[in-house]
Amino acid sequence: MGRSEVVRPPLPPLDGRFDRFEIAVSGAAEFLRSAWPALIEVRYEIGAMPEHLPAPDDPQGVPRWWTSTAQKRIVLYRLPIERLARLHRNDELHRRMAIEACVFRASAEYLGRDPWDLGRDHFHF
């Protein structure tokens, strides 16, 4: 009697721009959920762009995220986060840090807290 293969051929690594963005968002979101029970049921979503762009003279600029406590949602806008980031070093580590910073800032806005308050033990060592 013949045997079938148990292991399939390896899949290509997740290495696209969207894949890296999604991995950074989900990693930061899981960290925050483990530290803040109020975020456990919050859905973190990724959108390409905000539905409504601001007026050219708006000092806030293009939104990077949108939060709704009523809907328990945080939507991070990939294109503004990736393309409008002012990185002092444009490499994979700094791009990921910029994405994670936006996740922290959006979560802080959702909770009504300062982003520095969100780290485990509030960064008090």
Q: 96 pLDDT exceeds 70?
A: yes
Question: Between residues 7 and 64, which one has the greater pLDDT?
Answer: 64
Q: 3 pLDDT exceeds 80?
A: no
Return the CATH fold of 17-49+62-120: Zincin-like (3.30.2010)
What average pLDDT does the segment 91-106 reach?
A: 93
Buried b (16+ CB within 10 A) or exposed e, 18-45: eebbbebbeebbebbbeebeebeebebe
- The 3-state DSSP class for residue 46 equals strand
Sequence spans of domains, the chain: 17-49+62-120
Question: Between residues 75 and 121, which one has the greater pLDDT?
Answer: 75
Q: What angle do helix axes 17-35 and 92-111 make, rounded to 10 degrees?
A: 40
What average pLDDT does the segment 22-41 reach?
A: 94
What average pLDDT does the segment 37-60 reach?
A: 88
Token pair listed for 61: 């600029």
Q: Are the CB atoms for 27 and 100 separated by under 8 Å?
A: yes
